[in-house]
Amino acid sequence: MQNYLERFRRVMRYIDDHLAENLNGALLGTIAAYSRYHFHRQFSALFGIGVARYIQLARFHRATCQLAHRPHMSVLEIALDCGFDSPESFARAFKKIHGVSPSNFRKNPTWDACQQIYQPLMDARNKTMPNPDLAPLPDIEIVHFAQTRVAALRHHGDPAHIGNSIRPFINWRKRNHLPPHKNATFTIIHSNPDDTPVNDFMMDLCVATTIAIPDNPEGVFEHIIPANRCARLRHIGPDHDLKRAVVPIYARWMPQTGETPGDYPLFLQRIAFFPDVPAHEAITDIYVPLANAPLLP
């Protein structure tokens, strides 16, 4: 079964890497090493969604992130990046899915609607992920994280609405000249979304900086990520698969090593971001603070 899923995982990665190009069934069938006569039926039967619809959703999912979080990109640039020849044809197709034009979505992103629209895309991608209980234990290392001063913006509420916090955070960063390639980006996860009511969920979006942080309309504040002894795991892939990467740290690695969590939340360092790179190429370093000394296993 894993070999079967790996074939379709290759197809999905190819699609993500070539969203601006013509993606036809014969080509994708070749990548999956399946007959073009049966590839479409196999894809639909496995994922409950046709390959053409999958490609359409993958294109527009990236477009929504670009519209909401990449103000420097014009609608024309986004249209071409999605494989459209003109902003007009892109706008018509986008409005058919979202009910609003790309320009109006950019002004007021509708995240609840996006979650519903793109759930079939996420479900299909999740089906190709290896079972973490069967996979080899990931490469986890113990590191000493240095104390880091950050500017933080707190998101409090439904994690599905994180986009409403990302936009003002990006605006504040741009205004203060703190680009990701020069200033490290962190996310501090204060709540476990699996056992926290959505209205109580809390996380901080952070950028490393030494500048003074005066009162500001976005609500950005100063915070210190303390020096910590941490378990670090590099996750390569989309955010929606982070949970699958984190669980083995607690469920398998800690019992085997005798390590226990420390008194600070799990946090992430963002190395490469979607939509700047394809979702499967996004890079996130996961840090789990540890107690000073391990228990005997």
Tell me the CATH number at 100: 1.10.10.60
Q: State which of 127, 150, 175 marks the end of a domain.
A: 127
What angle in degrees, to the nearest 10, is found between the helix axes of 111-127 and 39-47?
Answer: 120
Average of pLDDT values for 263-285?
94
Which residues lie closer than 8 Å to 274 by C-beta, 6 or more apart?
Answer: 62, 65, 238, 239, 282
Question: In angstroms, rounded to a whole number, what is the distance separating the alpha carbons of residues 260 and 295?
Answer: 7
Supply the pLDDT for residue 243.
86
Q: Which of 1-5, 66-70, 168-172, 226-230 has the lowest mean pLDDT?
A: 1-5
One domain, residues 41 and 152: no
Range of the domain at 64: 2-127
29 near 51, Cβ under 8 Å?
A: no
Peptide bond connecting 120 to the previous residue in cis, omega within 30 degrees of 0: no
One domain, residues 37 and 160: no
One domain, residues 89 and 164: no
The confidence band for 167, taking pLDDT boundaries of 50, 70 and 90, is very high
Q: Strands 141-145 and 228-236: what pairing?
A: antiparallel
Helix (H) or strand (E) holding 73: none
One domain, residues 192 and 259: yes
- 249 vs 7, 181, 195, 244, CA distance in Å? 28, 28, 18, 10
Supply the pLDDT for residue 297.
44
Strands (E), the chain: 141-145, 148-156, 185-189, 202-208, 221-225, 228-236, 267-272, 283-289
Which residues lie closer than 8 Å to 187 by C-beta, 6 or more apart?
Answer: 203, 204, 205, 206, 267, 268, 270
pLDDT at 1 over 60: no
Supply the pLDDT for residue 294.
57
Supply the pLDDT for residue 281.
93
One domain, residues 160 and 265: yes
264 within some domain:
yes
Mean pLDDT of all residues in the chain? Answer: 90
pLDDT at 38 over 60: yes
pLDDT at 15 over 90: yes
47 within some domain:
yes
296 within some domain:
no
One domain, residues 233 and 109: no
Supply the pLDDT for residue 40.
87
Q: Which of 1-5, 187-191, 208-212 has the lowest mean pLDDT?
A: 1-5
Mind listing the pLDDT tens digit for each residue in 59-109? 999 999 999 999 889 999 999 998 898 999 999 999 999 999 999 999 999
Query: For the stretch 264-277, what's the b/e string if a residue is b when 16 or more beta carbons lie within 10 angstroms of its beta carbon?
Result: bbbbbbbbebbbee
Identify the CA nearest to 233 among candidates 221, 243, 218, 224.
243
One-letter amino acid at 100 equals: V
Supply the pLDDT for residue 34.
83
Q: Strands 267-272 and 283-289: what pairing?
A: antiparallel
One domain, residues 113 and 159: no
Q: What percent of the chain has pLDDT over 70?
A: 95
What angle in degrees, to the nearest 10, is found between the helix axes of 2-17 and 39-47?
Answer: 100
Question: In angstroms, rounded to a whole number, what is the distance separating the alpha carbons of residues 261 and 114?
Answer: 35
150 near 223, Cβ under 8 Å?
A: yes
Pick from 37-41, 230-234, 238-242 the range whose average pLDDT is largest. Answer: 230-234
The confidence band for 162, taking pLDDT boundaries of 50, 70 and 90, is very high
245 within some domain:
yes
Higher pLDDT, 135 or 48: 48
Question: In angstroms, rounded to a whole number, what is the distance separating the alpha carbons of residues 200 and 87?
Answer: 40
Supply the pLDDT for residue 131.
62
What's the number of domains the chain is made of? 2
Supply the pLDDT for residue 133.
58
pTM equals: 0.86
Mind listing the pLDDT tens digit for each residue in 176-196? 999 999 999 999 999 988 888
Residue 214 neighbours by CB distance under 10 Å: 6
Question: In angstroms, rounded to a whole number, what is the distance separating the alpha carbons of residues 288 and 251?
Answer: 13
pLDDT at 18 over 50: yes
